[in-house]
Amino acid sequence: MRRYIKRLSKYVIHPILILIIASNFLMAGTIILDFVAQPGFNRVTLKWTTQNEINLKGFEIERSFENKSESFKKVDFIKASSETKDKKEYTYEDRSIFKSSDRTLYYRLKIINNNEPDTYYEKIISVKPTISSARQTWGSIKAMFR
């Protein structure tokens, strides 16, 4: 029985532990604890909390009107605060959401590192804000001249 447990430990438990430890390093220079969107009138407020910001340049906020990977576009870039192991909260207000009031918006975070490849946070959030008719009309006029 001891031999079986020793073999199990060598071939199953050790690789699992190595994967867990390595996943923290592969996930970029930070760990994102939560990512939420709050709808508002003519805006969407995004909030996220990080921990272990090491060698992190910042976050690229991307938005889409469809939940398709190729349709996301950069909205803005938020610089990382500093290298810290403590929790850090970020807030971003998206006020450029005036194309349609009947649409669901999708957001995702791209983690930008200093020396490592960029990665995407796997959670995509959706939100449906309220948009005034004046902003909706202005958005349609702007779209005609693009």
Query: 2-144 has which fold?
Result: Immunoglobulin-like (2.60.40)
Instruction: Judge contact between 39 and 48, C-beta under 8 A.
Output: no
Contacts (Cβ under 8 Å, ≥6 apart) of 132: 41, 42
Lowest mean pLDDT of 20-29, 33-42, 76-85, name the range: 20-29
Question: Domain locations in the chain?
Answer: 2-144
Distance CA 18, CA 16 (A): 5
Residue 138: how many other CB atoms lie within 10 Å: 13
Token pair listed for 91 = 């807030």
The residue assigned the tokens 């390093």 is 25
Residues above pLDDT 70, as percent of the chain = 68
Query: Which pTM does this prediction carry?
Result: 0.69
Phi, psi torsion values for 78, nearest 5 degrees: -115, 120
User: How many helices (DSSP H) and strands (DSSP E) are in the chain?
Assistant: 3, 8
* Type and span of the H or E element at 29: none
More confident residue, 69 or 138: 69
Q: CA 123, CA 108: separation in Å to the nearest integer?
A: 7
Q: Tell me the average pLDDT across 113-133.
A: 87
Distance of alpha carbon 76 from alpha carbon 74, whole angstroms: 6
* pLDDT tens, position by position, 62-92: 999 888 889 999 999 999 987 778 899 999 9
